[in-house]
Structure 1
Amino acid sequence: MDPRSEVLLRQADLFRGDLLLAGLPADDLLGQLPAAIGWSWHAGAHQTLQARFDGRCTFGVAPPAAAFDAAVLFLPKSRELTDYLLNALAARLPGRPLYLVGEKRAGIERAARQLAPFGEARKLDSARHCQLWRVTVTNSPPPTELQALAQHFELELADGPLRVVSLPGVFSHGRLDRGTALLLDQLDRLPAGRLLDFGCGAGIIGASLKRRYPESEVVLLDVDAFAVESSRMTLAANQLEAQVIAGDGIDAAPNDCAAIISNPPFHQGVHTHYEASETLLQRAASHLRAGGELRLVANAFLKYPPLIQAHLGHCETVVSADGFRIYRAQRG
């Protein structure tokens, strides 16, 4: 059981009514709170919860339409995303309780101050290196339009300006990160056919691929609903059409790709996770056609070449700069 869920269950009598669990972990909390429903924006967590608690968890960037008498937000990493989520929940809970739970090392004490606009916040519990806070919503905000929180910026690329739309919580929100910038300069001479942008974030790589290779089918894949929505908005801002998929890792990707291009993630919340990236390297070959290519950017300290060579073949370092490396490998 996730320690945040354990803290909630220490106060289980508070959570017997119609309760929304927002950003909940993929554990047995829904089983312990049978009147609760879940809202997830992580495709992997949602898939696990749906398999165990069919129909009791929704996926997306907005709260479910179902009524609820209280809500618990599991603290996300991003302060901007926390603001959006708290406002979206508080708008549905005038006069009712809104809870915030999170790990101390994730900044729960700082985040608790974000409850202040809605009423007087109170700490209810501190255990398992976590804290649980509550506010009764006396100041209910108007519903928040997520699009109004998007950051828009423009990249000057060799084939013209690219408009980017970034939502709160998306990787490198509102700016171009150095790894993606390096990868953007190494998108030439990709094989013809289906191109996959794995871990698409705000859709910068995917949109660039579709514009550079208009005859190719381009697929963008991310585990996060806010990234998926950002990618769709970026494509629309540039009058481009591509398929955008929410899925947990490379297993959600189509097969028979001509190339997989990625700035793969290795962070999840405050924790460091390499599983999604390592699984990509281990299974990329099964999603590439013969002669298909994997091209990715990674921090130079990550020991990816041995994994690539073990599962795909010869690994070439195309560029090394600014603490990043571009790797290229081809399926035989």
Structure 2
Amino acid sequence: MLSNPSQLLVRNAHLFEQGQWLLANAEDAQVFSELDGDIDGFHQNWQIYSQLKTQNNHEFAVALASEKRYDGIVLYMPKAKEHAAMLLANLACHLKPGGCLMLVGENNSGVKSAPKLLADYGHKAVKLDAARHCSLFNMVLSAEVKPFNLDQWAKEFEVNIAEHNLRIYSLPGIFSHKSLDDGTKLLLENLKPIPTAPVLDFACGAGIIGVYLAKKNPAIQLTMSDVSAIAVHCAGRTAEINGVTADVLASDGLKDITRKFAAIYTNPPFHTGTHTDYSITEQFLRDANAHLGVNGSLTLVANAFLDYPPIMEKHLAAPLVMAHTTRFKLYHCQK
């Protein structure tokens, strides 16, 4: 199904009929079949990329690495403006001189800030079209583009939990960029003994939960997974900085994970971009049983208003509330 920004691009399909184009972080896979032309894809979302990876010229990465230069690049506006700025700095390096650098997004996504975000790359951003509560902006590249250095966008911060001091590597676009969120803090401060066995940090973000588990019990076999290329990169760097060995992988929920675990730990998302989306966690809860070994356990922290316990009880076991605040509840259930 075409997202609203993709519908706006299809409405302007004539723009892509000439030259070589790149769509960055498309919100759906269908748009590539709706547009005619020489169009590649750059993706930071594994769920979208996995639908297209058998086709030519689709890349999943934290930053675009292709040596190809494009006549035009369209970036779908991400939730965080700093994430958009980082992506534009990366993507502009892959434009031909005089190429088109475009931003498309829903009006409530922050796309109206496009003229400011694009200001470093040319003289004036122009709104090409608006429909479906979305806008499409274009800047003709005329400014000198600086070489892109991913680490210049990174932030390292310290997390102190109990007797453990961790260094966390974070990039724009990651959940709770630059700080430890209160939900994860509640989980880490109230852990049951960690089994000396394979464990999974699901929807790992920057890898805080997984790396803390490994510091608390160095004998675990740690896997960390996330749908985001940024998260996979950050979790890997966080593990490296803290001297932790981990298998860090991209996965659409649990679809791309084959092994079973003695325990799964998670602070799962309930947003996709700017939209509330409970389906990711609900599907995870339906699938978790098949990825837990005998007597396996699930430890999950979530906003207190989210009604996950009935789903957990139906597909796994009745959860216990291990700890709570006014905003969060920490659940634990065991097969």
Which residue is 1:277 aligned to?
281
Specify the code of the residue in structure 2 equivalent to 1:5.
S
- SS of the residue 1:96 aligns to: strand
Deviation readout 1:137-190 (Å, 9 max, x if unpaired): 111321221111111111122233100010110000001100001011122312
- In structure 2, give the amino acid aligned to 1:85: L
Equivalent residue, structure 2, for 1:8: 9
Give the whole-Å Cα distance in 2 for the aligned partners of 1:322 and 1:161.
Answer: 27
Q: Letter of the 1:157 partner, please give it.
A: I
Aligned match of 2:114 = 111
Moved more, 67-76 or 57-66: 57-66
Which stretch shows the higher mean deviation, 27-36 or 222-231?
A: 27-36
Is 1:295–2:299 an aligned residue pair? Answer: yes
* CA distance, structure 2, for counterparts of residue 276 and residue 127 of structure 1: 28
Q: Give the ranges of 4+ consecutive aligned residues of structure 1 lying more than 4 Å apart after TM superposition.
A: none
Alignment check: 8 A CA contact 1:90 1:140 kept:
no
Distance in 2 between residues matched to 1:65 and 1:308, nearest whole Å: 46
Q: Deviations over 1:207-239 (max 9, x none)?
A: 101111211100000000001101011111111
SS of aligned partner of 2:310: helix
Query: Which residue is 2:191 aligned to?
Result: 187
Which of 70, 82, 90 is matched with 1:88 structurally? 90
CA contact (8 A) 1:291 1:330 kept: yes
SS in 2 for 1:171: coil
Per the TM alignment, residue 86 of structure 1 is displaced from its structure 2 partner at its CA by 0.8
Aligned residues of 2:114 and 2:125 also touching (Cα < 8 A)? no
**SS at structure 2 position matched to 1:69:** strand
Q: Give 1:321-332 correspondences, 5 Å limit.
A: 321-331=325-335
Return the TM-score normalized by structure 1. Answer: 0.96
Kept in 1: contact 2:203–2:227 (CA 8 A): yes
Q: 1:249 aligns with which of 253, 259, 280?
A: 253
Indicate conservation of the 8 Å contact 1:178/1:322, yes or no.
Answer: no
The aligned residue for residue 213 of structure 1 is 217
Aligned to 1:228: 232
Query: What is the distance in 2 between the residues matched to 1:26 and 1:9?
Result: 13
Q: Offset at 1:11?
A: 2.1
Query: Please, which runs of 5 or more residues in structure 2 have no aligned partner?
Result: none
Whole-angstrom CA distance in 2 between matches of 1:48 and 1:78: 25
Report the AA paired with residue 140 of structure 2: T
Contact 1:201 1:222 in 2 (8 A): yes
Query: 1:39 matched to which residue of 2?
Result: 42
Q: How much has 1:133 moved relative to structure 2?
A: 0.6
d(CA) in 1 for partners of 2:120 and 2:92? 10
- Which range moved further: 166-175 or 20-29? 20-29
| 2:68 corresponds to which of 66, 69, 72 | 66
2:101 is aligned, of 98, 101, 111, to: 98
Report if aligned partners of 1:249, 1:280 keep a CA contact under 8 Å in 2.
Answer: yes
Residue identity over aligned pairs, in percent, reads 39
CA distance in 2, matches of 1:76, 1:27: 16
Which is further off, 193-202 or 244-253? 244-253
Matched, 1:304 2:308: yes
- Alignment of 1:316 with 2:320, yes or no, is yes
Contact residue 223 and residue 247 of structure 2 kept, 8 A = yes
What is residue 151 of structure 2 aligned with on the other side? 147
Equivalent pair of 2:195/2:220 in contact (CA under 8 Å): no
| Structure 1 equivalent of residue 180 of structure 2 | 176
Q: Could you list the per-position Cα deviations for residues 102-150 of structure 1 after superposition, in whole angstroms to 9, with x for gaps in the alignment?
A: 1001121123321111111000000111111100111132122111111
Q: CA deviation at 1:299?
A: 0.6
Displacement after TM superposition at 1:201 (Å): 0.3
Count of residues in correspondence between the two structures? 329
SS in 2 for 1:181: helix
Alignment correspondent of 1:25: 27
Q: 1:263 aligns with which of 247, 257, 267?
A: 267
Tell me, in whole angstroms, the C-alpha distance in 2 between the residues paired with 1:263 and 1:98: 35
CA–CA distance in structure 2, aligned partners of residues 162 and 257 of structure 1:
24
Structure 1 gap segments, 5+ residues each? none
